[in-house]
Amino acid sequence: MRLPDLNDLIADLQTAKQIAIDDRNPNAIVTATMSQAKLLGMDNMRDVTPHNGQPVVFNIAGVSPEPLTPEAALAISKRLDEEY
């Protein structure tokens, strides 16, 4: 059994986030997103000074995810069992 690498962990968190989106569970979405950010080192940002004195702007676009079918959920579960 091999240890998961960064790509594996990010992919698993993306899967978890998609399940949370499908279940309409905002707390789980935030948790998965923050976990991805931590793995990528984005939780330790030091300089948040706006450029040219302008305020920082975040553009957030909503998405309409495809529903997770029982077959897809089973495939994800089997893949996770095989890898871990």
| DSSP code string of 2-36 | PPP-HHHHHHHHHHHHHHHHHTT-HHHHHHHHHHH
- Provide the residue type at 55 as one letter: P
Tell me how far apart the alpha carbons of residues 18 and 20 are, in angstroms, rounded to a whole number.
5
Across all residues in the chain, what is the average pLDDT?
A: 83
- Asked whether residue 55 is assigned to any structural domain, the reply reads no
- Asked whether residue 78 is assigned to any structural domain, the reply reads yes
- Asked whether residue 1 is assigned to any structural domain, the reply reads yes
Phi, psi of 41 (to 5 degrees): 80, 15
- Asked whether residue 5 is assigned to any structural domain, the reply reads yes
- Asked whether residue 17 is assigned to any structural domain, the reply reads yes
- Asked whether residue 7 is assigned to any structural domain, the reply reads yes
Tell me how far apart the alpha carbons of residues 2 and 82 are, in angstroms, rounded to a whole number.
11
Q: What percentage of the chain reaches a pLDDT higher than 70?
A: 86
Q: How many domains does the chain have?
A: 1
Tell me how far apart the alpha carbons of residues 63 and 23 are, in angstroms, rounded to a whole number.
14
- Asked whether residue 29 is assigned to any structural domain, the reply reads yes
Q: Name the one residue in this structure whose structure tokens are 């935030």.
A: 30
Q: What is the pLDDT of residues 17-51, one digit of tens each?
A: 999 999 999 999 999 999 999 998 887 766 666 66
Domain span at residue 83 reads: 1-44+74-84
